[in-house]
Structure 1
Amino acid sequence: MTTQTILPVNAEALKALSESRQEPTWLTDSRLASLELAGQLELPKLEKQRIERWNIQSYGEYKESKKLASLDELPERAAQLVEGSREGGLVIQRNSGTVYTSLASELAAKGVIFTDLETAVRKHEDLVKPYLHQALKNDEHALAALHAVVWNGGVFLYVPKNVEVDVPLQAVMLTDDAEATFAPHVLIVAEANSQITYVDNYVSDSLSAPVTHNGAVEIFAKNGAKVRYASVHQLTAEATDVTFRRAVLDNDASIEWIVGEMNDGDTASDTMSILKGNGSTSDAKVIAVGSGSQKINYTTQAKHYGKSSASQMITRAVMREEAQAIINGITKIEKGATKADGQQTERVLMLSPKARGDANPILLIDEDDVTAGHAASVGQVNQEQIYYLMSRGISRSVAESLVIYGFLAPVVSEIPLEGLRDQLQGLVERKLGQ
């Protein structure tokens, strides 16, 4: 029995809240079972960091969110993220609940479902129930169990067989009330030979007290499906951000992860692709900039079960001031996954003597007929490069910026969404104080 986890709600209150939200019985039972597990399980173990020392207890309580009459009512910081994003579909969560949803009529006519998860469990139970908490199970650790207890709002995206969606669907997750629970759950189901791009932004505004974000993403890509998932986290220093992402890939399915970790507070994320099917592929690109006294722990994983499956993961992190980063890459090739190919690269650039970085590439191979490789580096800015640029009449600050952008370019330049590239560029400049 762990003494590290303070439960944010008791069973009676949880049951009453679930019933007041008209949740189906199976979901109420799931929340109650997860609450019991949360009191028994240990916290996840982070490499070289102790998450129990972080502020991971500030869940607040569920507060009803008022629907938006129009997008003009959004706070400025969130409103900037939805400009030009209404073509395909848009879901906006504010604190404990969803306040806006839209989906293009032509996509709805093709059978695409894009709504908040709370609505989906009631209206599309047959599509949600088989998948919810199946990629990230509630017994994985205490935080997974707690998420299964308190999740709210969220996103449900369903793409029918053979349907290809050409425009990105977008979600914005906003927390601006420190007393309200903020725990979105994203569930994506892409049927056989479908194709979808989904983009979300996590943002905070005017928080008056600490907030814990305990979020989860589950993606199921069926045979031949192609899913592109892009996520940018830009929460302020008051928020502690813990996110677990999982994708389960069937035969010839593919997932492309694009993650920009631009928070100002302590952050931990675990992004895992489970390559279950033969010929399945995973491509993960993660960039991060740490500042202040942030503690950061990023893990990217690929687990190969299918034959001829392939994974690629690239993480590049820049640490300034007194920020500390632990970057983990884990490639696991199971027995029987012949012809699998797993490649990974982790690089950390430190901008000050007090910044700290640690890159940990891990290969776990249980099959002989495979290809696998890794590369990792941690280092300071190359002063020779700085001096060379300064000798050409460039100021030191501009020279350092050019070196940093050059360091991040191999990841940023590969992002296929122009708007996301521009957004990440602006966030990098903000985090670097430019």
Structure 2
Amino acid sequence: MSKVISSAISPAVTTLENRFNEPKWAKQIRTEALAAYESMDLPKEDEGWRNLRLKEVPLDSLVPLADQKETPDSVRSRISPDAAGVLVHYNSDVTETKLNPDLASKGVILTSLQEAIAKHPDKVEKYFGQLYNTKESKFAALHYALRTGGAFLYVPKNVVIETPIQLFTYGDQPNVGIFNHTLIVAESFSQFTVLEYSASDLGGSNAIHSGAVEIFAADGAKVSYVILQNFDQGIYSFYPRRAKIGRDAEVNWAAAELGGKIARSENTSYVDGEGAQSNAVVVFFGSDEQSLDVSAQMIHTGRNSFSDILAKGVMGDKGKTIWRGLGYIKPGAKGSSTFQRENSLILSDGAKGDAIPGLLIEETDVAGAGHAATVGRIDETQLFYLQSRGISLKQAQKMIVEGFFGSVIELIPVESVRKEVQSLVDRKLGW
């Protein structure tokens, strides 16, 4: 596959370096990422990127930097007055940041990653890019070369935040590149929840989202990260989210992947500490002509660590999805356990779903390990039964899908997100 190079990227990197007056180490990351981008091909199908029609991604028309604007009303109306903190990444930059003053007095930091690099380099440099590096793919290189805005959240030792912190990612400029990077540092025994909403309004145009999330949970910390991804179908999104988990710490993922024309999302936990644990709950729904590649991975090195993955997906119209799950217990992770379950439901003849579960156990002393995955069509007997009771075909399909998703949606830890996910599922079903 031939290389794809946008003539706008190199000058954009220079513009960003000059605009932000970045320290040497941050500039070096940009420079190395640009070189990697220009030398790398698009990922090939045999590299785990199949089903994504990467030749369609409009890299040659990419607008690396958009004009900064005020936070749009469509985002502002979603900001909760009870949120502990709020950060809005709009197109190429952060347009709004708020943090409860009481939390700020306790040492909590919520700011754009760009500002954190300038004001808190001691808290950023040792973590930034440790879980996701520039050479993983062409899209990783693009992300690090053109990273702007983003979010940095630092929660000191023993600080417990009772209400969620809201992060918003929103795009509405045709061909814009959205390159937000979220870096979260949870010190020992801190506890908090982050809600991330991703959406766009491109009016039939296209744009590229290449983001990243890195979470570092120190010993005893507990972090919940909740994602509602509802980009419109002009977005090509590539979004790895990764966490490194310390002794007796816990990171839980809850993700609803519903939008994008092509969307590749990943939730990976490095369960490194003794007694550490991680759970992932994932809901995905591909409709129209969407292509979704959704994955969750639990990689254990800590003794007596635990992980669990539960995912459910639906495909309708000509939607295509691939689910990838991995439980990996490395040598030395004695007494650990990892489990995963995934079910996919196909609603139409034109839809397609694949499930690729995996277990890799390199330690003989484990507490347990297992995986299961199914892909099947909607049960015609159930449809017939409901219709024989006077229920229309459309209503019957809705009832079956709601029942299918229900056991997973109810595990999303925030009520407002549960309700919105159900509403968006209904909308995909034509209600």
With the length of structure 2 as denominator, give the TM-score of the two structures.
0.94
Q: What's 1:63 paired with?
A: 66
Gaps of 5+ in 2: none
Is residue 200–residue 230 contact of structure 1 (8 Å, CA) maintained in 2?
A: yes
Q: How do residues 183-222 of structure 1 correspond to structure 2 at under 5 angstroms? A: 183-207=179-203, 209-222=205-218
SS at match of 1:346: strand
Residue type at the aligned position of 1:24: P
Q: Distance in 2 between matches of 1:383 and 1:285?
A: 28
Report the alpha carbon displacement of residue 422 of structure 1 after superposing the two structures with TM: 0.7
Is residue 328–residue 346 contact of structure 1 (8 Å, CA) maintained in 2?
A: no
Is residue 243–residue 269 contact of structure 1 (8 Å, CA) maintained in 2?
A: yes
Q: Distance in 2 between matches of 1:56 and 1:347?
A: 32
SS at match of 2:13: helix
Q: What's 2:30 paired with?
A: 31
Say whether 1:389 aligns with 2:392. no
Q: Distance in 2 between matches of 1:424 and 1:351?
A: 18
Is residue 328–residue 359 contact of structure 1 (8 Å, CA) maintained in 2?
A: yes
Say whether 1:338 aligns with 2:341. no
1:105-124 C-alpha deviation (Å, 9 max, x unpaired): 11111111111111111111
Report the alpha carbon displacement of residue 51 of structure 1 after superposing the two structures with TM: 5.0
Say whether 1:246 aligns with 2:239. no
Q: Distance in 2 between matches of 1:8 and 1:360?
A: 37
Structure 1 counterpart of 2:73, from 64, 72, 75? 75
Say whether 1:410 aligns with 2:412. no
Is residue 260–residue 290 contact of structure 2 (8 Å, CA) maintained in 1?
A: yes
Report the alpha carbon displacement of residue 40 of structure 1 after superposing the two structures with TM: 3.1
Q: Distance in 1 between matches of 2:375 and 2:137?
A: 30
Say whether 1:148 aligns with 2:144. yes
Q: Distance in 2 between matches of 1:311 and 1:56?
A: 37
Is residue 286–residue 315 contact of structure 1 (8 Å, CA) maintained in 2?
A: yes
Is residue 343–residue 372 contact of structure 1 (8 Å, CA) maintained in 2?
A: yes
Say whether 1:374 aligns with 2:371. yes
SS at match of 2:390: coil
Q: What's 2:430 paired with?
A: 433
Residue type at the aligned position of 2:22: E
Q: Distance in 1 between matches of 2:399 and 2:327?
A: 32
| Structure 2 CA distance for partners of 1:386 and 1:145, relative to 1, 3 Å | same
Q: What's 1:71 paired with?
A: none
Residue type at the aligned position of 1:46: G
SS at match of 1:34: helix
SS at match of 1:307: coil
Is residue 177–residue 207 contact of structure 1 (8 Å, CA) maintained in 2?
A: no
Report the alpha carbon displacement of residue 265 of structure 1 after superposing the two structures with TM: 1.1
| Structure 2 CA distance for partners of 1:281 and 1:51, relative to 1, 3 Å | farther
Residue type at the aligned position of 2:416: G
Is residue 15–residue 32 contact of structure 1 (8 Å, CA) maintained in 2?
A: no
1:73-94 C-alpha deviation (Å, 9 max, x unpaired): x233x23422x24531111111
Residue type at the aligned position of 1:108: A
Say whether 1:260 aligns with 2:256. yes
Q: How do residues 166-315 of structure 1 correspond to structure 2 at under 5 angstroms? A: 166-207=162-203, 209-315=205-311
With the length of structure 1 as denominator, give the TM-score of the two structures.
0.94
Structure 1 counterpart of 2:119, from 109, 123, 137? 123
Residue type at the aligned position of 2:406: A
Q: Distance in 2 between matches of 1:325 and 1:337?
A: 32
SS at match of 2:39: coil
Q: Distance in 1 between matches of 2:29 and 2:325?
A: 32
Q: What's 2:128 paired with?
A: 132
Report the alpha carbon displacement of residue 13 of structure 1 after superposing the two structures with TM: 4.6
Identity %: 35
Is residue 274–residue 302 contact of structure 1 (8 Å, CA) maintained in 2?
A: yes
Q: Distance in 2 between matches of 1:86 and 1:151?
A: 30
Report the alpha carbon displacement of residue 207 of structure 1 after superposing the two structures with TM: 4.0
SS at match of 1:39: helix
Structure 1, 335-344 or 264-273: larger mean CA deviation:
264-273
Q: Distance in 2 between matches of 1:96 and 1:224?
A: 35
Q: Distance in 2 between matches of 1:173 and 1:167?
A: 20
Residue type at the aligned position of 1:364: L
Aligned length: 426
Structure 1, 140-149 or 297-306: larger mean CA deviation:
140-149
Gaps of 5+ in 1: 69-73
1:311-367 C-alpha deviation (Å, 9 max, x unpaired): 111111100001111111011110111111010011110000111011111111111
SS at match of 2:21: coil
1:393-427 C-alpha deviation (Å, 9 max, x unpaired): 32221111111011111210111211110111111
1:287-333 C-alpha deviation (Å, 9 max, x unpaired): 01111111111111111100111111111110000111111101111
Residue type at the aligned position of 1:19: N
| Structure 2 CA distance for partners of 1:7 and 1:248, relative to 1, 3 Å | farther
Is residue 68–residue 92 contact of structure 2 (8 Å, CA) maintained in 1?
A: yes
Residue type at the aligned position of 2:63: G
Q: Distance in 2 between matches of 1:21 and 1:179?
A: 23
Is residue 47–residue 326 contact of structure 1 (8 Å, CA) maintained in 2?
A: no
